[in-house]
Structure 1
C-alpha cells in the first residue's frame, strides 16, 4: 500500500514535514483551544489519530493596528523584507483571533488591505506545520466508499420534508471491491441507522457520490433529523458540518451545501465532471449515466430506470431497482477513480484537505504554495496590486471554408516555457519562489512522462499519468496567476511580457511554415493549424517537417504534433470543426452550435458539416427538407429533441428584483423555474438546470411569455410552436451562409420551388488571406 519512503528532496513543493500516511486533518471549531486532529493510516492499513496544537494566525501590515488590543492576547513576529504584510500575528484561542480580526477590519477606506487571513483552519495548520496529506500513499492505498440512495416520491420531485418520501435503498461500495445494498429493514429509521453503522464499520477516508452534496448527503441528513437518527458519520462519530459553498465552471456558477465530515473527505463526481469539461468540452451532459457512457464505464447489461418511475418500479419490480442502485455506485466509483487522480496527487503538495483541493481553482493552489514558503522563510508577503492592461493571446484565422489535410502544431507549454526561458516572475517575489516552483514542476512532469513509457503495466501507467496531470494543472496556471487581480503576487506587466513573447514565437512558426510552402489556416494561443507543403504527404513526413521547425526554435521552445486531421471546416476565430482520419468530428467554439442549442439543431448542424466535408450539396438540401418535414409533423423522438436547457445563475428572488428595477429582461428559463417552484413547492437554486420549450402561435412570439416546462409536453397532444421551430431551423441553416453564394445558399436551404433543386454549379466557397506579418 505504501510507496517508497517520502524523500524531502523538495520542501518547496511538498512542504518541510515528511510525515507519511496522513489521510485527513480535522479542526473542531467549537473548542476554545484550537486543536488539529490528524488521521493517519499506518503500514498495517490501520487508522490512528494524533492531536496537535493549532495557533490561528493572520498577516498584518502594521503591528500598531493592534494597539487597542490587550498585549497578552497575541504574539507576533517581524517578517523580513519590504513587502506589504510585514508581521505574522498568532493567537492562543479562537476568541482572541476573531476579536483581533474584527478590530483591524474596522478600519476601512484603506488603499491596501491591512491583513491577510486564511479562514480555513485546516489550511492554517498545514501551512504552519509543513505537513500535507497522503505522503507515501498511492490512490489505491486510500479507502474510498461510494454512496447512492433511492427514494420514493409522492410529488413531481422527492422532498425530504415530506414524510412519505422515504429512503428505500442505500447502495454502497468501496475500493476494496466490497458492496452492500441496505434496504427492506422494516422501517426507514432502521435503514438510516444501519447506513450510519456500516459507514463507521467500513471507515472510509473518502465518500464519493454523484451529486452527493445536493442530493444524497442532504437527503440522508434531513431524513435522519426528521426521524431522530444521529447522522454521526464522522470518524469521531460527529454529524457533518454543513455550509453554503459554490464553484465556478467557466461561464456558470454552481451553489451547493458543502459537507465537512470529521476525518473524511467528500468527492462529488458531478463537480469533477463539470471541472473536467471546462477544458475538454466533450461531455454530452453531467448526469451519472451520460458521464459513465462517455467514458465507457456503463456495463452492457446496465439497468436504466427514469427518475420519475423509481416509485412505480419499486412497487412492481423491486429487484430491478436494487440492480439499478448498485449499477449507480459502481459507475460512480469508476468515474471517481478516472477523474480524481490529479487532485489526489496535488494533495501531497498542497496545504489543503483533499476535498478542498478538488474544489479550489489552480490560482489559489499556486498562492498557497508560495505563502507556505514565505512563512517558512519568515519573509514578508505582498498585497495584490491593481492590474494593468495585458496583451491578449494571439488568435487569428487566415482560411475560411474547407481545408485539408491538417496538422496541428502545438508549442508545448508555451507560456511556462517563456517564463522559464526569460526568467519572468512577479517583481514582488523576493525569494524567487514563483520560478523555482515552475521549474521544479516542469522537470517533474518531464521525468514522470518518461517514466510512463517504461511503466510495466496499465496500473502503474495510470498512476504516473495522474501524477503528471497534477503537475500540468499547476504548470498551466502560472501565467493566469500573474494577471489575476486578487493574487497576492500578481504582476500584470510581467503577464504582458509573456503574451507578447508568445506572439513573437507564433509569428516565427507561421513564417517558417509559409516559406516552406505550407498554408496556415488558423493560429490559436499556443498552436497552429496548417496544410503542410505538397511534398509532405504522410505522417512520417509531417513529423520530419515539424522536426525541422524545431531546429529553428529558441531554447526551451518545442513544437509537437498534437493532431492530424483529414479536413477542417474553418468558420471564425476559435470556431472550427475537425474531421480526423477515423471519421470523428470535433467541434471547437460555439458559433456554429452551442450547448444550449436545441438537440435537433445540434444534430442538424453536425450532419450538415459531414455533408460539407463530403461535398454532397444535394445531400445538404435533402437533409434540410427532411428536418423541416419533421418539425411540421411534430415528428420528435421526445421533448429533449427540441427543448432548451439553461442554468439558473442567480436566485429567483434576485431575478425578480432585477427585472422590477429594469436591470435585466425576463428570461424563459427563470419564468419556467418560478412556475415550477410554485407548483411543487421546491425553489430552484443557483446551478439548477431548467428545460423548457416554446408554445403559442407565430414565429415571432416572446419566448419568456410562451415558455413551458419540458416535463409537461405530451406526444399525444403536442403543443410546441411549429412556426417558431421552423424559424429556429432556418437560423441553424444560416450558419452555413458564408460557405456559398447568396443564390446557392437560398436554393439549398429552402423548400423546392416549381423547378425543383439541382446542385449543378454549386461549390463550397473557401476564402483565404496571407498572414499579416511574415518575418
Structure 2
C-alpha cells in the first residue's frame, strides 16, 4: 500500500513538473517559426559546441472547440483521432469543461476554412475569422504556440543565457518622424562583443538605402539568435521599417525567406497603420527581437528602485555606464554629428554596449519564463503575467492531462475584497526593520489548498507550488551573490519574474470571469480573509514584543525598534513571530535601516546605515514629476533623516533661489506627459479650454502628433508652454541653447505646495510652516530651526 502511494505521488509530481516545464527534453531551442500549413522550423544551439542546427518538422495544427456541429458538414472526412481516411480528426477530452473537442488537421488552413464554413451555415451569416466565434467557442493559438503546446517543448533547455548569440543595434536619425527624417548612422554590437558604426556617406536616398542594406548584411553574416535594443519596438524597428519601405529596401532581418518584417498584436508597441488604437510589434522569423525596455519595466515593477526607465538612467543606476561615457541630447545628435562625428560615434557605441549589459543583468526574467511557458521568447518578454504566462501554462497542463478546458464564466456579483494594507504611523522613525513575507497570498493558497473551483485538475495550485519554490531559490541566490554583480541582478530579475507570476495567480482568480478562464472571486476572497488574519497576527505579535509598527501589507511589515536593541534582538524577534505563522508562510528578516520617512501607504523613504537613500512610491518617484522637484525631495529627505533640520531649510532656499534666478535648465522644470488627443480633437475644444501639453506642442511649432506620444513640456512665462528634449547629462545647458523662459513663480509655488508638502508629516504644523516659509515673508515669532525636531504621528 505504501509503495503504491509513493508511486502515485511520484507520477503526480512528474505530471506537475511537466505542466510547468514541458516534457520534451530537446535542448538549446533558440527560436521557433511555424506556419498554418503544418510545418515548423526549429533553430537549436547545441549547448556543448554552440553549433546552430535547423530542423524542419511536421506538426498537426489544432483548435479546441465547444462543439463539433460546425464540422459535421465534412461528413466521413471527420473522424476520431487515428482514423485512416479522416481529413479532420477530433478527440473528446475528459472532465466537465466546455471546450472539450480537440480537432486537428495536417493543414491548419483546411481546418479553419471548414470550421468557418460550418459556423456560417449554422449562424446564417458569414463568419470571416475564428475570433468572430468568440473565445468561449474556440481556442485558437498562434502556430508556434500550437507546436510548443503539442510537443511539450520550450526554449533554452540546458542553454545558459551567455550561450545565446545576441546582437544589439541602435539607430541615429535626423529626427523622430520616419516620414520626413532619415537614418544617418547605425551602431552595431556583434555577439562577440565587437562594435562597429555604419554611416551614410551623404544625405541622399541612395546613401540611406545602402546604409540599411549594410545593416541587413551584418545581421545575416553574424546570424544572431537574438537582436536587442532599448525601445526597439517603440522606435528603432518602426522607424527602420518605414524608411526601408519608402526606399525600396527589403528588410530581410530574419532567418527565412527574402521578405521583410512581419507584425503581431502586442500590449506595447507602435500604432497599427489601419487602427491607431491597436498596438503591433515586428517579427523577424527565426530570430527573437528583444526590447530591453520590457525588462526594465518588469524589474522596476517589482523593485521600484530605478530612477527612470531610459537607457542612460538605467545604465548609470546599474553601474554599467563608463565614467567617460559620451552624452548628447536626443534632439541635437545630428547637429553634433555634422561638426564632430567622432563624438557621435562614441555616443552610439556606448548605447549598444549598455543595451547588451542591461539585457544581461535584467533579461533573466523573460529568459526563465521562456524555459517554462509555451510561447516564443520575444512574446514572453512583454507578456502580462496572467494571460501571457499563466494561461499558456494552464492550457498546456489541461491538454497534457487530456482534460477539457472551462469556458469563461461571468461571476455571481460577489465583490472582490481588497488586499490588507495598514499605515500605523507617519512621520520620521528611527532604527527600522523590514520583515518580509515571501509571496503571502500564493503561500496561503498553497498552505490551505485554495484554488479555483473549476480547476478540476488542480493545475493552478501545482504551478504556484513550483513557482514559489523556484522564486525562493532565486531570492536566496541573489542574497548570496556579491552586491552589484551580474549574478545578483540576474537572480533578482528571476525572483521578480517568479514573484510577479505567482502573485498574479491570486489576481487571476479575483479577475472578472470574462478576463480569466479560472476566475473564482469566492476563492480569492478566502485567500484575502486568511491574508488579513495572518497579517493581523504578525502585527499583534510584533507589537507585543515592544516594537513600533509603521506599515504592513502583503509584502511585509516595517517597524521601529527600541534604541537599546541590537541586530541580534531584531532578528530573534522576527524569527519568533515567523514560528507562529501558518505552514508555508515565510516571514524573513529582510533589512534594517537607520531612519524612515513614512508619508502614505506604500510611499516612504529609507536611509540605510551606510547613508544610502531609498525612495519608494509615486509621491517620491514618478516619471511625470518635474526633475527639480524630485532632486529637491532627495536632498531634503537626506537632511531630514540625518536630523539636520537647518539643512532641510537650506535645500529649500537653494532650490527656490535657483528657480527665481532661472539657474536651472528648462528640462528640470518639465513634466513627462502622454498626449491623449489628436491635433484635430484638441483644436475642437481649444477655444473653451486650453491645456498646457497641447499649447506647448503648438508653441513649439509642432502641429502634428499621434495619440499616445509622450513628450516633456513646461509652463513658460505668461502661461504659454514649451517642449524640451530629455538631456542625458548635466552638461546639457552648457552644450546648447536653453531659453530658460519658464514661469519661475509657478514652479516656486509648485516647490512648496506639491513637493515640500510631502515632508509635512515629519513636522508639527507650526514647525513645517517655519521650515518652508518664503524668505520674503518670515514671521517675527517663528521658532529657531535648531529647536525643531521631526515627529512620528501614530494613526
Q: Helix, strand or coil: the match of 1:477?
A: helix
CA deviations 1:487-536 (Å, max 9, x no partner) are 1112111111111111111111111111111111111223111122455x
Native 8 Å contact 1:171 1:181 kept in 2: yes
Give distance in 1, aligned partners of 2:752 and 2:347: 41
Cα distance, 1:661 vs structure 2 = 14
Give distance in 1, aligned partners of 2:193 and 2:423: 52
CA deviations 1:578-606 (Å, max 9, x no partner) are 22112222222234664422222222333
Paired residue for 2:99? 85
TM-score by length of 1: 0.86
Native 8 Å contact 2:29 2:44 kept in 1: yes
Native 8 Å contact 2:606 2:614 kept in 1: yes
Alignment match of 1:588 (pick from 616, 638, 644): 616
Native 8 Å contact 1:214 1:256 kept in 2: no
Native 8 Å contact 1:247 1:255 kept in 2: no
Give distance in 2, aligned partners of 1:257 and 1:629: 47
Paired residue for 1:409? 435
Q: 1:347 to 1:657 in 2, by over 3 A?
A: farther
Alignment match of 1:693 (pick from 714, 721, 727): 714
Q: Helix, strand or coil: the match of 2:259?
A: coil
Paired residue for 1:76? 90
Alignment of structure 1 residues 150-169 onto 2, 5 Å: 150-151=172-173, 153=174, 157-162=175-180, 165-169=181-185
Native 8 Å contact 2:69 2:118 kept in 1: no
Q: Helix, strand or coil: the match of 1:693?
A: strand
Alignment of 1:200 with 2:200, yes or no, is no
Alignment of 1:496 with 2:514, yes or no, is no
Cα distance, 1:322 vs structure 2 = 1.9
Paired residue for 2:160? 138
Paired residue for 1:773? none
Q: 1:300 to 1:447 in 2, by over 3 A?
A: closer
Q: 1:438 to 1:60 in 2, by over 3 A?
A: same
Give distance in 2, aligned partners of 1:277 and 1:655: 34
Give distance in 1, aligned partners of 2:377 and 2:290: 9
Give distance in 2, aligned partners of 1:123 and 1:175: 28
Q: Helix, strand or coil: the match of 2:299?
A: helix
Paired residue for 1:3? none
The farther-off stretch of 459-468 and 728-737 is: 459-468
Cα distance, 1:83 vs structure 2 = 1.4
Alignment match of 2:61 (pick from 52, 56, 64): 56
Alignment of structure 1 residues 324-363 onto 2, 5 Å: 324-363=347-386
TM-score by length of 2: 0.84
Give distance in 2, aligned partners of 1:254 and 1:582: 48
Paired residue for 2:239? 219
CA deviations 1:620-642 (Å, max 9, x no partner) are 44443333333322232x11111
Paired residue for 1:321? 344
Paired residue for 1:421? 447
CA deviations 1:165-222 (Å, max 9, x no partner) are 4433222113322333323668333332222112111111100012222332233333
Give distance in 2, aligned partners of 1:278 and 1:161: 34
Paired residue for 2:693? 669
Which ranges in structure 2 are unaligned for 5 or more consecutive residues?
1-13, 78-86, 126-131, 270-275, 727-732
Cα distance, 1:425 vs structure 2 = 1.0
Alignment of 1:643 with 2:670, yes or no, is yes
Cα distance, 1:465 vs structure 2 = 6.0
Which ranges in structure 1 are unaligned for 5 or more consecutive residues?
1-6, 770-775
Alignment match of 1:175 (pick from 191, 194, 198): 191
Native 8 Å contact 1:506 1:526 kept in 2: no
Give distance in 2, aligned partners of 1:459 and 1:628: 41
Give distance in 2, aligned partners of 1:63 and 1:199: 47
Native 8 Å contact 1:172 1:180 kept in 2: yes
Q: 1:409 to 1:66 in 2, by over 3 A?
A: same
Paired residue for 2:137? 115
Native 8 Å contact 1:34 1:94 kept in 2: no
Give distance in 2, aligned partners of 1:741 and 1:226: 64
CA RMSD for the aligned pairs? 3.4
Native 8 Å contact 2:682 2:694 kept in 1: no
Number of paired residues? 734
Cα distance, 1:150 vs structure 2 = 2.1
Paired residue for 1:4? none
Q: 1:247 to 1:167 in 2, by over 3 A?
A: closer
The farther-off stretch of 744-753 and 183-192 is: 183-192
Native 8 Å contact 1:652 1:674 kept in 2: no
CA deviations 1:22-71 (Å, max 9, x no partner) are 21111246xxx232211122344332322233433332223235556777
Paired residue for 1:15? 22
Q: 1:427 to 1:271 in 2, by over 3 A?
A: same
Cα distance, 1:564 vs structure 2 = 0.8
Paired residue for 2:536? 507
Alignment of 1:235 with 2:247, yes or no, is no
Q: 1:460 to 1:290 in 2, by over 3 A?
A: closer
CA deviations 1:682-731 (Å, max 9, x no partner) are 52352x3211111354xxx6xxxx33223699977543223322321231
